[in-house]
Amino acid sequence: MIRWLLLVLLSACAALAHAQEAEVIRIAHAEAVRADWQSPAAPVQGWVQVPLADQWQTRWPDHDGVVWYRLRWQQGDADQPTGLLLDYTCMAAAVYLNGSLIDRDPSLVEPLSRSWHVPRYFLLQSPLLKQGENELLVRVSGLAAYQPSLGVVDVGDPQALQARFRKEVFVRHDLQVLDSAIGFVLAAVIGMFWLLRRKESMYGWYALSAVFGRLYDSNFFASSPWPFPTTDGWQAFIGACYVAGAAAHTVFLLRFCERRWPRLERVLLAIAVLVMAGALLWPQWMGPNRNLYLVPTIAFLYAVSFTFMGYALRSGRRDYQVLALCIILPIAVSLHDLGVYMGWYGGVSYLGSFTSPLMLLGMGFVLAYRFANTMQRVEGFNAELRNEVQLATTQLADNLQQQHALELAHSRAGERLQLVRDLHDGFGGTLVGAIARLEQAPEDMPRQEVIGVLREMRDDLRLVIDSTAREQADLAELLAPLRHRTSGLLDAVDIQAHWHLQDIDGIELGASRSLDLLRLLQEGLTNVFKHSHAQRVDVYLRRQGDQLQLHIDDDGVGLAQGADGVVAVRTGAGLASMRLRARRLGGELQVSPADNGTGTRLALVLPLMA
């Protein structure tokens, strides 16, 4: 029982399908005749029988102009609205029903309108539609190089034909526009990514290939050849765009695989530039002969794509394999589109637009995958950097502690050395003078004189302590006790000391520099006392701008000279200490004969600013 019910149901469905098919009549044959561009009406003679779809370049290979097609069918009921669907007209057309114009493209001569990519649908009613035989004339304008033709014609149920019309418009036009929109958006996004990261050159090449690819796709929905004045110019341009897009896509795949073949890249770019230049300069040749460079480009692009897919499978990298998977479907679909383009079978729909969302997903995954890997590397680098910084901080702390200990030890050693020098230059000089006075004194020297000598030694030691302890002190105040002591010391050996101080009031050199200056003076005067045998010594200390000038002149025996006349400067510990102090003060101690020809001059110029 169930088996019989299934058989009845299947028979009913088959009958319904047959009835629906019978509602639409396909006109698969027509008559055709050639005419010139300005043909106002169909010629009377010369008609030949042709099957539909018809491409006239196979019959009239050199005919550029107009071909009239005449079709007839029998209409049973003229009062019943009838649909008329012209599947394909390339390139521009005008449609007449029973002698009345029902459709016409804006331009039937160059530059031709481009209506080949969408079908034409009409709803026919009385009085245009007649009872019995109806005649349809289609004036097709085209160029032999671009497959001019008329497709099949269907007449019948308006709803069925209108549904088919909408489907074909969606596939041939709307999806192409959507494909171009998606492509331009993807090119813009990838292009901005490249602008922000110029070193990622593969994204720039992908954006460039996408732009040229979308310019080529505009051929499937552009309604005129603007901005080019001829169809040849338009066809040459989109052919050059295809070549440029293929070259950029090849470089993109190379850069994506982290390969650089400069020679191949230069050759590809040179070919793309030459083809584009030829398309713009000689469109009348580049357009009709576009297959001479498009077919090799298509073959090269297939070879590149299959090579990349094989490399991606061998590489084991996830991003390579995902992009290869995204390329497989466009390659398969492109074989169908290639068959349509070459006229290998009667199809007229290009299906490449269905693959753009897949490429969008593929490139989105590639970007996300590489971004995730980059973030992982950045996080790993940050962790490693933190460890390195922590290790470097620990090592730096250890080094700073060691350096601090060394500096502290060095500071203590310097302080000890400074104290030794101060005692030598100051207290030592006073001690030497005291010993000399005691040696020259009679044996019955009064006790008070001995006490005076010891008091001078105490005062000198106090000077060392005071000058070291006071942070800020006027230079004139510090010189007063030194003048007093050295004058007494020199008077003991009949040396007259004369001090010439000029503009030194208010000068503060700081404790360290003041002590260096005082000890240098004291050592110089001690040397006069010990070695010069002078009768007079003059001390000049004056301020000159931002400098302080010091001269110590005596009229003693002077400096010894060698046999060659060169002055021999004594190099004892006292003079070395004086030179060191002079360098710390910012100057250089000069030891030379005095201006009067006898005696010695010690000269020093030091900056007042520390």
The DSSP letter of residue 232 is H
**CATH architecture under which domain 417-607 falls:** 2-Layer Sandwich (3.30)
Amino acid 79: pLDDT: 87
Question: CA 434 to CA 481: how far, in whole Å?
Answer: 17
Alpha-carbon dihedral angle through residues 519, 525, 531, 533, given to the nearest 10 degrees:
180
pLDDT at 534: 84
Indicate the domain borders of the chain.
Answer: 22-156, 171-350, 417-607
Q: Give the chain's largest Cα–Cα span.
A: 171
Question: Which pLDDT does position 465 carry in this prediction?
Answer: 64
From the first residue on, what is the mean pLDDT of each consecutive set of 10 residues in the chain (610 residues)? 43 44 82 92 93 90 94 90 93 94 94 91 92 94 92 94 93 86 85 85 88 89 92 95 93 87 92 95 94 91 89 84 78 73 65 65 72 76 84 87 83 67 64 70 67 65 60 72 78 84 81 78 83 85 87 81 48 74 86 79 82
pLDDT reported for residue 423: 65
User: How high is the pLDDT of residue 557?
Assistant: 81
C-alpha distances (whole Å) from 508 to each of 138, 354, 420, 545, 580 are 113, 90, 24, 15, 21
CB 600 within 8 A of CB 558: yes
Residue 352 and residue 56: Cα distance in Å, rounded? 26
The reported pLDDT for the residue numbered 162 is: 94
Residue 14 is predicted with a pLDDT of: 45
CA 128 to chain centre: 67
CA distance 142 to 560: 119
The reply to whether domains 22-156 and 417-607 share a CATH topology is no
- Cβ atoms of 231 and 287 closer than 8 Å: yes
pTM of the model: 0.60
Span between the terminal Cα atoms of the chain, in Å: 121
Q: Where are the alpha helices (DSSP H) in 106-174?
A: 158-169
22-156: CATH architecture: Sandwich (2.60)
What pLDDT is recorded for position 16? 43
